[in-house]
Amino acid sequence: MSAPAPQKPVSTTRRVWQLAWPTIIANLLFTTVGFLHIKIVAELGTTSVAAVTTGHRVFFLLQAILMGVSVAATAMIARFWGAGEIRQAEMVSWTSLFMSVALAAVLSIPVLLAPAWIAGLFGLDAETTRLAATFIFWLGIFYVFTAISMMLATALRATGDVITPLWFLLASSTLNVILAYHLAFGIGPFPQLGIAGVAFGGSAGASVITMTFFAFWWRGKFNLKPIKRLALDWHVARQMVSIGAPAVVEQGIIQLSFLVFFGIVAKYGTVAFAAYGIGMSLVSFSIVIGFGFGIATATLAGQQLGAGDREQAVRVVGRALVMAILIMATLSVLVAWAAEDLAVFMIDDPEVNRLTVAFIYFIALAQPIMAVEFTLAGAFRGAGDTRFPLVATFCGILLGRLLPALTFYKLGLSIYWIFSVMLFDFSLKAVLLLYRFRSRKWLDVKIEHAAAPA
């Protein structure tokens, strides 16, 4: 089974946009779910907002581990698909699904057994910690289904099919929000479960769609077919570990740094913590533009390298970078302009609103710089170069974010200084990634074939 290698696109801009816009919409849907979770519980008070923000942060930390498998799968599937080696791509997708389900099952254990201890790491008050633990527990129940959905979507996107995952995510997001709202407030025949209802209802609804997604794939409805054998390809697994391990470490550093940063913000009180959570949920709508271009460049760079066209890979990434900067800069202006209205829409608390507006201003300044990180780091990962993004992330987070934030806190400076360190973080990472892009060393990563499939 084979397919011809992709030809050079007539318009690089058009090809980038064809892959980017569905991914951007998909990320917007994912972000919208988190946004609406916070909006739903905002009626229950600031404590509930802080608790859901904490639960989402723990969930993102778990996702960081799966992200390593996802990054490796994208690099390998895109490379083989670009070379027309479809059976090799299918072997990688099958192996990545096995690995992600196993990882998700292991990661669920501490979440289910010790959610209160995990929530207590944030240093919040007793009631917020209790509510956060409840939210974390119910997310953990359905975590394996999250892994399945994530890997199926990753595999299809790496082949260039970005529409199919978008449709399933749309259905998943819709059912997630509907059930979360009904179970939070006990509407109709549903019991009133509060925060637990948001986590349980949302996750259960998403899991139903995930199993439908899996059934379609299993029956061979997509361009990437299942191998259908109860065994891993260990050669593929070892390569995925080699490529994915730096991405896992990178994502782990990112998420752990967020936990530390959350801890620093929490020292300024629940109001500051809630403002940070609301601000992040609001600006996430424009940040996902960068994620979309990162995934698009990962796919295109991998496919062009698989087809042996290094120069086209460079052109695609360069064009995507310009597009991402322009779009994110425009959106950051719009978000900053509407900052006050957005803050008031989320919660009726003047003090929280004031800090939320300030946070939005800082992050709006950083977004064009963030576009560089998302796009170039995505391209490098798609090429299999996962080590340099790890180095850039480590330098940016340690030297640009955490050390300055801790210093400002020790000096007794206001929360506004803590918010400002994000500018240092993203600027340092952007400089390092631009240097790597110009060096072209990211084009030299080799990916080996799997063993001949039965």
Q: How far apart are the C-alpha atoms of 277 and 360, rounded to whole Å?
A: 11
Per DSSP, the chain holds a count of helices (H) and strands (E) of 16, 0
Across 393-400, average pLDDT: 91
> What pLDDT sits at residue 154?
92
pLDDT classification of 216: cutoffs 50, 70, 90:
very high
Q: How far apart are the C-alpha atoms of 299 and 304, rounded to whole Å?
A: 9
| Rounded alpha-carbon distances, angstroms, from residue 454 to 222, 224, 312, 315, 447 | 21, 17, 34, 38, 21
Greater pLDDT, 146 or 452: 146
Question: What is the 8-class DSSP label of residue 452?
Answer: P
Q: How far apart are the C-alpha atoms of 148 and 420, rounded to whole Å?
A: 37
Angle at 301 between CA 295 and CA 307, to 5 degrees: 135
Residue 429 half-sphere exposure toward CB, CA atoms < 13 A: 32
> What pLDDT sits at residue 449?
60
Which residues are within 8 A (CB) of 77 and not within 5 positions of it... i.e. 6 or more apart? 89, 92, 93, 155, 158, 159, 224, 302
Q: How far apart are the C-alpha atoms of 217 and 90, rounded to whole Å?
A: 12
Q: How far apart are the C-alpha atoms of 150 and 104, rounded to whole Å?
A: 11
Which of 127-136, 270-279, 382-391, 403-412 has the lowest average pLDDT? 270-279
> What pLDDT sits at residue 451?
52
Type of residue found at 310: R
Q: How far apart are the C-alpha atoms of 265 and 356, rounded to whole Å?
A: 13
Across 426-445, average pLDDT: 93
Which of these, 70, 69, 147, 68, lies nearest to 107 by C-alpha position?
147
Q: What share of the chain in percent tops pLDDT 70?
A: 95
> What pLDDT sits at residue 187?
87
> What pLDDT sits at residue 126?
83
- Give tens-digit pLDDT for 105-122: 998 998 899 888 988 877
pLDDT classification of 253: cutoffs 50, 70, 90:
confident
> What pLDDT sits at residue 438?
93
Type of residue found at 118: I
> What pLDDT sits at residue 6?
44
> What pLDDT sits at residue 4?
42
Q: How far apart are the C-alpha atoms of 62 and 143, rounded to whole Å?
A: 9
Greater pLDDT, 55 or 325: 325
Count the Cβ atoms, other than its own, within 10 Å of residue 143.
21
Greater pLDDT, 349 or 170: 170
| Rounded alpha-carbon distances, angstroms, from residue 201 to 139, 141, 150, 175, 336 | 10, 11, 19, 9, 33
- Judge whether residue 326 has pLDDT over 90: yes
What is the enclosing helix (H) or strand (E) of 9? none
Spell out the domain ranges in the chain: 12-443
| Core vs surface per residue 29-52: b (16+ CB within 10 A) or e | bbbbbbbbbbbbbbebebbbbbbb
Question: Which range is most confident: 256-270, 293-307, 437-451?
Answer: 293-307
- Judge whether residue 347 has pLDDT over 80: no
Burial zone of 74 (CB within 10 Å; 0-12 exposed, 13-18 middle, 19+ buried) = buried
Q: How far apart are the C-alpha atoms of 387 and 445, rounded to whole Å?
A: 11
- Give tens-digit pLDDT for 31-56: 788 888 888 888 877 788 888 888 88
pLDDT classification of 450: cutoffs 50, 70, 90:
low
How high does pLDDT run on average in the chain?
86
pLDDT classification of 375: cutoffs 50, 70, 90:
very high
Q: What share of the chain in percent tops pLDDT 90?
A: 30
- Judge whether residue 5 has pLDDT over 60: no
Tokens at residue 12, please? 């690089």
> What pLDDT sits at residue 147?
92
Tokens at residue 1, please? 């089974």
- Judge whether residue 452 has pLDDT over 60: no
Type of residue found at 63: Q
SS3 (DSSP) at 440: coil
Across 269-283, average pLDDT: 79
Burial zone of 350 (CB within 10 Å; 0-12 exposed, 13-18 middle, 19+ buried) = exposed
- Judge whether residue 211 has pLDDT over 90: yes
Which of these, 191, 179, 131, 163, lies nearest to 20 by C-alpha position?
163
Count the Cβ atoms, other than its own, within 10 Å of residue 258.
17
pLDDT classification of 11: cutoffs 50, 70, 90:
low
Count the Cβ atoms, other than its own, within 10 Å of residue 10.
7
Compute, in degrees rounded to 10, the torsion defined by CA atoms 249, 251, 254, 260: -70
Which residues are within 8 A (CB) of 364 and not within 5 positions of it... i.e. 6 or more apart? 283, 332, 333, 335, 336, 339
Greater pLDDT, 381 or 279: 381
Residue 165 half-sphere exposure toward CB, CA atoms < 13 A: 26
Contact 313, 304 (CB under 8 A): yes
Across 286-294, average pLDDT: 83
- The structure's pTM equals 0.78
Which of these, 170, 169, 112, lies nearest to 141 by C-alpha position?
112
pLDDT classification of 308: cutoffs 50, 70, 90:
confident
pLDDT classification of 10: cutoffs 50, 70, 90:
very low
Q: How far apart are the C-alpha atoms of 97 and 264, rounded to whole Å?
A: 37
> What pLDDT sits at residue 427?
94
